Amino acid sequence: MRTGKLTLAILMILGLAVAANAMDKDEALHGPTGYVPESTSPLLITGADCTDPIVISSLPANLTGQTNCGMGNTYAATCLGNYDGGEDVMYRLDLAAETTIDILMSTTATWTGMLLDDSCPPDPTTCIAINTGSAGNRAINDKTLAAGSYYIMIDTWPTPNCVPTFDLTITEDVPPPPPPANDVCAGAIDLQSFETNVFTVDLCAGYTNNYDAGGSAGCTGYASAANDATYKVYLAEGENITASMTGAHDSAIWLVTDCAAAAATCVAGADETVANGVETISYSAAAAGWYYLIIDGYGAGACSLTTVTIDAPVANEYQQWGGVKAMFK
């Protein structure tokens, strides 16, 4: 029986050790929590509480030299946990329309916390977003908010009891514009629409990677994970097309009959050189139909301002590409 009690005691001690080891890493690093008395009456300072927050009514907002020192510990039961024990400052953000925002609090202070909520005082268990940490800046990014008023609170886990100085920046997170229509084959540009057989395309201007040439078994001999642009041309049976491209990235060019199965329907492809090299394909149409020219590259995300040349018999130096294309028919 005595052995059983000893075993139980050992297990209890081990359990306490495990619980201690399971303590939040921040708690172990922070050490004892300081105490800042909660405010019992309004301080009549703008930003000290929800009745008179610092109002932000337009974006972008760049508030420099901010502090919560002297604001009092008004709210100590929020979703920030340990990080709401210091003095706090309240901001109200008014949005007239749905907006995606980024919030950045820049400071050299330690043990800071920031919350975003649609209620004030902030909800004690749930907030829209929080960010806490022992050092460095606090950020809340990519939050899409409906029109209305929202509250931002800056606080600390004492000690320190407050943040002597910080900058607060709030910007609208504007999504990038959609890629060009010919990023995919559904919007492929007809080569006959060009007035010249030489044109440029900036593959860095919003284009993405949609088509892969199929690796070592594909028609270029390599994967093509770079940004790609698409063009199309109608060829009668037996008509020829020669196309080349050159750019500052490791380029690749290929011709397919079905973009939904691009690698499987590739009829010509080239990836023989590296950056600034010239890639060239030539093809004689096995059947009449639309063919899709994919201006591409090897590396993931690779892109550059690329020059594309479509070669065909030209009657004289004044012949326009429209006339050249007519010679295909």
List the CATH number of the domain containing 128: 2.60.120.380
| Displacement of CA 113 from its chain's centroid (Å) | 24
Please indicate, yes or no, whether residues 127 and 202 belong to a single structural domain of this protein.
no
**Strand 99-106 versus strand 61-66 pairing type:** unpaired
Structural domain includes residue 261:
yes
Please indicate, yes or no, whether residues 134 and 209 belong to a single structural domain of this protein.
no
Q: pLDDT: is 177 or 169 the higher one?
A: 169
Euclidean distance between the first and final Cα of the chain, in Å?
A: 101
Structural domain includes residue 75:
yes
60-74, 124-138, 281-295: the lowest-pLDDT one? 124-138
Please indicate, yes or no, whether residues 286 and 219 belong to a single structural domain of this protein.
yes
Structural domain includes residue 245:
yes
Q: Residue 40: its pLDDT value, please?
A: 67
Please indicate, yes or no, whether residues 150 and 69 belong to a single structural domain of this protein.
yes
Complete edge-to-edge strand list for the sheet that includes strand 89-95:
54-56, 89-95, 148-156, 112-117, 129-133
CA distance 28 to 4: 34
Our CA angle for 267, 195, 272, nearest 5°, is 35
Tell me: pLDDT of 236 over 60.
yes
Please indicate, yes or no, whether residues 144 and 101 belong to a single structural domain of this protein.
yes
Last residue within a domain, chosen from 172, 193, 226: 172
- How many structural domains are present in the chain? 2
Q: Residue 259: its pLDDT value, please?
A: 97
Q: Residue 34: its pLDDT value, please?
A: 84
Q: pLDDT: is 21 or 325 the higher one?
A: 325
Q: 56 - beta bridge partners?
A: 93
Q: pLDDT: is 295 or 17 the higher one?
A: 295
Give the model's confidence band at 319: pLDDT under 50 very low, under 70 low, under 90 confident, else very high: very low
Structural domain includes residue 9:
no
Question: Which whole number is the average pLDDT over 66-86?
Answer: 96
Please indicate, yes or no, whether residues 185 and 260 belong to a single structural domain of this protein.
yes
Last residue within a domain, chosen from 172, 200, 220: 172
pTM: 0.57
Structural domain includes residue 62:
yes
Tell me: pLDDT of 262 over 70.
yes
Give the model's confidence band at 135: pLDDT under 50 very low, under 70 low, under 90 confident, else very high: confident
Tell me: pLDDT of 131 over 60.
yes
Please indicate, yes or no, whether residues 140 and 31 belong to a single structural domain of this protein.
yes
Q: 119: which 2 tokens?
A: 């209620």
CA distance 122 to 45: 19
Give the model's confidence band at 318: pLDDT under 50 very low, under 70 low, under 90 confident, else very high: very low
Please indicate, yes or no, whether residues 205 and 322 belong to a single structural domain of this protein.
yes
Strands of 173-239, DSSP E: 189-190, 198-202, 229-235
Please indicate, yes or no, whether residues 265 and 213 belong to a single structural domain of this protein.
yes
Q: Residue 23: its pLDDT value, please?
A: 40
Please indicate, yes or no, whether residues 189 and 236 belong to a single structural domain of this protein.
yes
CB-based burial of residue 328 (10 Å sphere; 0-12 exposed, 13-18 middle, 19+ buried)?
middle
Q: Residue 320: its pLDDT value, please?
A: 44
DSSP 93-145: EEESS-EEEEEEEE-S-SSEEEEEESSSSPPSS--SEEEEESSS-EEEEEEEE
Structural domain includes residue 219:
yes
Query: Contact 264/245 with Cβ under 8 angstroms?
Result: no
Structural domain includes residue 3:
no
Give the model's confidence band at 41: pLDDT under 50 very low, under 70 low, under 90 confident, else very high: low
Q: Residue 132: its pLDDT value, please?
A: 93
Last residue within a domain, chosen from 138, 155, 172: 172
Please indicate, yes or no, whether residues 251 and 154 belong to a single structural domain of this protein.
no
Please indicate, yes or no, whether residues 150 and 185 belong to a single structural domain of this protein.
no
Structural domain includes residue 5:
no
**Strand 240-246 versus strand 266-270 pairing type:** unpaired
Tell me: pLDDT of 227 over 50.
yes
- Looking at every residue in the chain, the average pLDDT score rounds to 88
52-56, 88-92, 316-320: the lowest-pLDDT one? 316-320
Q: 304: which 2 tokens?
A: 């550059």
Q: Residue 82: its pLDDT value, please?
A: 94
Q: Residue 35: its pLDDT value, please?
A: 81
Q: pLDDT: is 69 or 23 the higher one?
A: 69
Q: Residue 145: its pLDDT value, please?
A: 98
* Domain span holding position 237: 181-326
Strands of the chain, DSSP E: 54-56, 61-66, 89-95, 99-106, 112-117, 129-133, 138-145, 148-156, 166-172, 189-190, 198-202, 229-235, 240-246, 251-256, 266-270, 278-284, 289-297, 305-311
